[in-house]
Amino acid sequence: MGFRTGFVLASLLYITSSYDYPLLFHGQVSEAAVNKAISFYLSMYNAPLSVSVLIHTVFSIGMVGIVAKLVRWSENDKYFGTLSLLLYFGSVLMYVAVSIPNMRVLARPDEPSIVHRAVFDAESYRKVENYSFQPLSFQETASVVQVIGATNVIITAMLAGVLLMQLGEWYSIRLDRIAENKQRQESIAKLGAHRHDDKKVN
């Protein structure tokens, strides 16, 4: 995951955090906070195709970047690269499996097939087989946006883990290079000392 990819993803998650945190960490959820979050996520879901393409392209570039590093398969990639790929793939999976279905249900809360795919705290009557379908209640809608917010927090943590793995790999490579340079300098110094001793003998 390159700097530009990380910057774009961090910017997106920072924007969403202003809508997510009031729903997750401010105690009682207010109707105003829920409505603000709904409006924001609906604007993202109904955004022009170019916006969706941009977001998905950024995710794809990050994945390709990590996979490309793994192709070289150095000693560091066994640990840092593999963990980075797992964390990044997990964040993409969370986005595809949770965020997208939940944003879709905000846009189409009257469609049973859409509602059934979403992840939220459903009313008790929905947990009965062959129940009479009803649109989402306010509590269920609030749960939908809370799940989106919680997913964003998890994705943020995963991407932070990717960043830490990348920094760890960079630091490990730097230490290896320092050790190699030190060993090379010592070898050169020993070789110079041997030559100096040979000249004295001659």
Q: Which tops the pLDDT comparison, 197 or 94?
A: 94
183 inside domain: no
43 inside domain: yes
193 inside domain: no
181 inside domain: no
**CA 130 vs CA 42, 106, 112, 119, 125: distances in Å:** 29, 23, 12, 19, 10
Global pTM reads 0.79
110/133 Cα distance (integer angstroms):
9
pLDDT tens digits, 65-114: 777 776 766 776 677 778 888 888 898 899 999 999 999 999 998 888 89
On the question of pLDDT at 198 being above 60, the answer is no
Best CA proximity match to 103, nearest among 62, 54, 152: 152
114 inside domain: yes
Structural domain count of the chain: 1
pLDDT tens digits, 21-37: 888 887 788 889 999 99
CB 88 within 8 A of CB 73: no
178 inside domain: no
Whole domain around residue 13: which residue ranges? 6-173
59 inside domain: yes
179 inside domain: no
DSSP state of 30: P
